[in-house]
């Protein structure tokens, strides 16, 4: 399996071999530099691709043999956007997953409680969602994730078992923090890019075009474009014969402790 441990072992063996051969054959320093660059390329790929399982095992799709999908929303709760999304989901009788940021939960506790009360599953998306979260030590990450879980427990009486990495970035420190907190890491296999695509037609075309059995769709309850296309997208899914189920049901996972 292509992961951090296996790649590091292979490149370490290659490096030792090259050093050994350098005493017999001429190996230019540029070859060592090339090896380093290739190794760094693997690390960057593993960090930025949440589905790679390079550093951390993540679940990013459901059963491709069943015509079921799950909707997920990151970065809330936020007034206006989250409320409107909840209204649309209620209208279509659809349950979704909300990966919430702890500091926003503290500011919007009533809205957070509404998400839970209406039957949606809630996951941990860190407390701070700090710009430099990926550079935190494992201990600082663990503290941040635990703070979000404690904030949720204070609000609704349960702690989340599902976790989605901020920005979708993983590394060895995050793996340690996730394991110590007992989380199951959740990714996605359809990314809407709704934080970038602001045109309603383009966004709807993108997500409908990538629809497939077992899809976990990544949206954000933090922008107008998502609210604008959500109802049409749900209607399209149902017209195509898809069943929209709650994420934990799609993956057969326990959501809370």
Under a CB-based contact definition with an 8 Å cutoff, are residues 227 and 84 in contact? yes
Burial (CB < 10 A; 0-12, 13-18, 19+), residue 131, is exposed
CB atoms within 10 A of CB 95: 19
3-class DSSP assignment, residue 163: strand
Cα 187 versus chain centre, distance: 4
**CA 57, chain centre distance (Å):** 12
Let me know if 74 is a catalytic residue.
yes
List 144, 220, 221, 248, catalytic entry? 220
Contact 81, 226 (CB under 8 A): yes
Nearby residues of 27 by Cβ (< 8 Å), 6 or more positions away:
18, 21
168 token code pair: 């979708």
Of 74, 144, 194, 248, the active-site residue reads 74
**Among residues 132, 126, 1, which one has the least CA distance to residue 54?**
1
Taking the CB of residue 1, how many other CB atoms lie within 10 A of it? Answer: 7
Active site residue 220: yes
* Residues classed as catalytic: 74, 220
């Amino acid at each position: 399996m292509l992961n951090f441990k296996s790649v590091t072992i292979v490149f370490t063996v290659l490096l030792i071999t090259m050093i050994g051969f350098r005493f017999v054959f001429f190996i230019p320093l540029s070859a060592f530099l090339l090896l380093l660059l290739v190794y760094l390329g693997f690390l960057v790929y593993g960090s930025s691709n949440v589905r790679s399982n390079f550093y951390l095992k993540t679940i990013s799709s459901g059963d491709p043999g069943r015509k079921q999908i799950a909707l997920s929303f990151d970065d809330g709760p936020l007034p206006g956007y989250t409320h409107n999304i909840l209204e649309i989901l209620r209208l279509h009788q659809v349950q979704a997953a909300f990966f919430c940021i702890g500091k926003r939960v503290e500011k919007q506790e009533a809205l957070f409680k509404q998400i839970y009360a209406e039957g949606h599953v809630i996951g941990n998306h860190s407390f701070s969602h700090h710009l430099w979260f990926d550079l935190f030590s494992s201990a600082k990450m663990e503290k941040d994730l635990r703070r979000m879980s404690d904030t949720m427990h204070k609000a609704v009486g349960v702690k989340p078992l599902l976790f989605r990495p901020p920005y979708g970035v993983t590394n060895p420190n995050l793996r340690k923090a996730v394991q110590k907190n007992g989380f199951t890491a959740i990714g996605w296999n359809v990314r809407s890019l709704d934080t970038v695509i602001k045109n309603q037609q383009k966004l709807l075309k993108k997500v409908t075009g990538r629809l497939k059995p077992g899809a976990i769709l990544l949206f954000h309850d933090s922008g107008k474009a998502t609210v604008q296309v959500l109802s049409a997208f749900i209607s399209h899914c149902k017209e195509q014969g898809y069943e929209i189920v709650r994420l934990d049901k799609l993956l057969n996972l326990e959501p809370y402790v």
